[in-house]
A and B are shown apart, each in its own frame.
Chain A
Amino acid sequence: MLSERSSRLEALAAHLPFPLDDFDAAAEVFVRWREHGVQADRDTAQLWAYCFVVWYFYGRFASERSASASDLDWVIERSFKRVSRSFEEIRKPERFPQFASVVCRNMLLTYRRRRHETVEVEDTTTPTPAREADGFDRILTRRLIERAIAALPSYSAEIARLRLIEEATYQEIADTTGLDIATTRTYFSKAVARLRADPDLRALYEDGIPPSALRGTAENGAKIADSQKEPRTRG
């Protein structure tokens, strides 16, 4: 049963003309606003960004036992302001969702640096695994990776999917595809080269996070934040 206040989350999202997870629609409305300047499109994009920020941080903070409500207010307000301020400056409007995701991620890392705490997951004291500590939005990232893989040449798409998403070994891929291991490796290398260059994927990390940030967990987040008094986001 939802509490009265939590039901406001629903009420908020209900004002969107499309589901919050429809990232393509969010990008489309933002692009349309940039091209035609219709205020209604700007309002919709702004509301989507706010809903996304709320969803991102409520979800994260639900798993961080020591985070407080005032912390939640702080990260949501600062992230949303940062996205809103950048509306006119985002260089690639078609990647508006990635931009919002990057802003949230940067803010999360900054927050963690400020807290100087070990991240806790769920109700245990288990440290957050490295792959979760990076702050990427899992849903958006997975969809973009799957889309990028699907756009690969057919000979390498399946290999990339098996290796990167299904975590299959080269031997397993070779058994599945009927190719030998050497060929499988070669195709995989080509696939990775293309995926690394994919602009939709690059937009998830090229705006503000230095590579050193990706080496570890919260400890590394502190290093990152030291070089970022504010999340540096560019379009």
Chain B
Amino acid sequence: MIPPVTVTDPAHRLDDFPALSPAERAEIERSLADRPDLADALDEARRFAALVDAARARPDPGQSVVGRRLGLDDLSMPVDPETAARLGERIDMLDAGAEDVVARFERLTGRTLPPLAPEVAPEADALPSPATTPRTLFDRPPARPVRARRRRASTWARAAAVLLVGYGALFLASQASVSERTQIAALSEVAIDAPTLRGADRTPDADRLIAAAAAVRDARRSTLGLFATYDTTALDAAAADLGDLSDTADRRTWVSQEARLALGRVLLYRSRDADAARVLGDLVEQGGYRAPVARRLLDAVRNGSQLD
């Protein structure tokens, strides 16, 4: 309950002016009519009270309906459907008789608004078919420019995050599914690039080695780098080439050593452990620069029970 106004405290009454009802304000105005010394203070109180009144006022339905047409949800206070429809008709009627808003702007400013850029529809079910909706300046879906862009960006960001998380999970699953045999064989390391071979290194045997290594690489099958496997037929064909090269090439050459190491990896991957042990053992015994790697693989073959 509002305490009764006391005539002995005019300054305080003016402080309270914006919070009072129209009748209470009128009473204060009457009581101060003979106080010219407080006229300015009363005017100041009226000004501030007018602002407070505006802030307190119930949302203007016309403003809300127009705001909605401008895509401003924050301004579009709830309006009952019947009132909204009536005001909508009123706005349409005014709009039909008034100068076109865009044309007026262009006439008054001498500027021509550029056509709106076509938008990528992020949600197929949210917009009509592009074939039925030409994207022109005057035919645009309900517009909330910045918020729409933010929402669109947010949608894309969420989608990207979901994909990233999903891919990450699949990647982990893929890694977990790789057998120890596959990890040790490491066929991905069978790689000899032609550009690295120059001059005397570039021999027919070297070319055969490059081709065989490429065949091993090409035998790999995967989707998006996940759950990789190897085509056994292609792998066996590559192993045959590598075996032939191992048999014919000079054992002292790097080509022979690389061919035998690659062959050992393929045989290991194909679970032909005895053949792998023979090839790798030969490489170890020779004591070449590939002997350490061959030794590691040979050890794995000899402990074959751990590979499967």
Contacts and interface: CB of A to CB of B under 8 A. Distances in A.
B221 interface: no
Interface string A70-102: 101100110011001000000000000000000
Chain A interface size, as a band, is 35 or more
A130 B54 CA distance: 9
B53 A62 contact: no
A230 to B, nearest CB: 17
Contact of B66 (A11, A55, A81): A55
B57 A131 contact: yes
Given A7-B139, A12-B101, A19 B54 contact: no
7 pairs of A and B residues whose beta carbons are closest in the complex = A69-B97, A62-B62, A131-B53, A59-B63, A211-B43, A136-B54, A14-B143
17 contacts: A3-B96, A9-B69, A9-B95, A12-B70, A12-B105, A14-B116, A20-B71, A21-B74, A59-B62, A61-B94, A69-B93, A72-B98, A77-B108, A132-B54, A134-B53, A138-B57, A215-B46
B145 A196 contact: no
B272 interface: no
A212 B40 CA distance: 11
B61 A63 contact: yes
- Interface of B: prevailing SS: helix
Contacts of A131: 50, 53-54, 56-57
A50 B105 CA distance: 7
A47 B1 CA distance: 48
Interface string B36-73: 00000001101111111111110111111111011110
B141 to A, nearest CB: 8
Interface in A129-186: 129-132, 134, 136-139, 141-142, 145-146, 163-165, 167, 169-171, 181, 185
B51 A136 contact: yes
B138 to A, nearest CB: 5
Contacts of B91: 6, 58, 62
B56 A69 contact: no
Interface residues of B, number: 72
B59 A138 contact: yes
A63 B60 contact: yes
A167 B56 contact: yes
A192 B15 contact: yes
Given A3-B92, A55-B67, A58-B94, A130 B102 contact: no
B18 interface: yes
Interface of A: 2-22, 43, 46-47, 50-51, 54-55, 58-63, 65, 67-70, 72-73, 76-77, 80-81, 84, 122-123, 129-132, 134, 136-139, 141-142, 145-146, 163-165, 167, 169-171, 181, 185, 188-189, 192-193, 195-196, 201, 204-205, 211-212, 214-215
Nearest to B83: A122
Contact of B98 (A16, A73, A137): A73
Contact of B140 (A10, A43, A81): A10
Contacts of A19: 71-72, 74, 144-147
A179 to B, nearest CB: 15
A189 B12 contact: yes
B218 interface: no
Interface-centre pick from A60, A76, A211 (highest chain B CB count, 10 A): A211
A83 B56 CA distance: 27
Interface in B113-164: 113-114, 116, 137-140, 142-147
A8 B100 contact: yes
A5 B101 CA distance: 9
A214 B100 contact: no
Nearest to B47: A205
B15 A195 contact: no
Nearest to B52: A164
B66 A8 contact: no
Given A142-B55, A145-B51, A5 B43 contact: no
